[in-house]
Amino acid sequence: MRHLKNSLAILLMALSFGTLQAQESTEGRKNAMKEHHEQLISDLKMSDEQSAEWTAIHKEYRPKIKALRTDESLSKEEKGSKARALKAEMDEKLNAVLSEEQAAKWKAMKDEKKDQRKGEGKAQRHEKMAQELGLTEKQSAAWMEIHEKYDAQKAAVKADSSLSEEARKKKMMSIRKDQEKAIKAILSPEQMAKLKAMKEEHKEGKEHKGRKKG
């Protein structure tokens, strides 16, 4: 009996601790959002009127976004699509509050943050790939150099408005082939075979996801 009481006490403590952690996490996110919001108002040098409008728009869309996240009737893809549409709608309203100079500065800040996230994402993918393929430090450094070089070439082709769609596709295909050759040159046959298998697995996963969606 005493053992049962002790077990129940431990369980209740664990549940209480978990609830407390969840509350602290939610509170932490709220505080972080509030600080970011206040910092943005300061960085963009908003007037009191602009600040009030900006805050009101966020309050209008916050429950909509929350409701979307908890809507179990929607698939992950549908949630993503609706979330992007909601964000674009909110951003359009927020942008209308700002002057041209403020809007330009806000766009630059968002672009910088987006580039930062992309860089962090690339670094994480690179680290994961290096572990899965068992790359040495030398191979890992070469892998990064190759991807940086050819990613820059791909970006330049995408941004070249003078190219026709057919010419763009040909250039992209040529860059991909050169990139594959460069990668093959730094990997062992075993690593290359593993990379090929991983690509096939990824391709099959995408196809399966597409069929399921359709």
* Cα–Cα distance for residue pair 166/52, rounded to 1 Å: 50
Instruction: Scan for tokens 């766009």, then name that residue.
Output: 107
- Please name the amino acid found at residue 191: Q
In a domain, 206, yes or no: yes
Count of domains for the chain: 2
Residues 113 and 214 in one domain: yes
97: tokens are 């509050």
121 and 153 fall within a common domain: yes
Numbers of helices and strands, H then E, in the chain: 7, 0
CA 45 vs CA 42, 98, 103, 125: distances in Å = 5, 10, 11, 37
Instruction: Check: CB of residue 195 under 8 Å from CB of residue 133.
Output: yes
Q: Are residues 88 and 128 in the same domain?
A: no
pLDDT along the chain (214 residues), means of 10: 53 55 56 78 90 91 89 87 90 92 88 78 83 91 91 89 91 94 94 89 68 54
Task: Say what the pLDDT of residue 93 is.
Answer: 93
Identify which of 133, 174, 128 has the alpha carbon closest to the alpha carbon of residue 150. Answer: 174
pTM for the whole structure = 0.49
Last residue of a domain, one of 65, 97, 129: 97
Tokens, residue 140? 């890992």
Range of the domain at 72: 50-97
- In a shared domain, residues 135 and 204: yes
- 86 inside domain: yes
Give the chain's end-to-end CA distance (angstroms, integer): 57
On whether both 70 and 116 belong to a single domain, the answer is: no
Token pair for residue 110?
């968002």
Q: Is 211 found in the same domain as 154?
A: yes
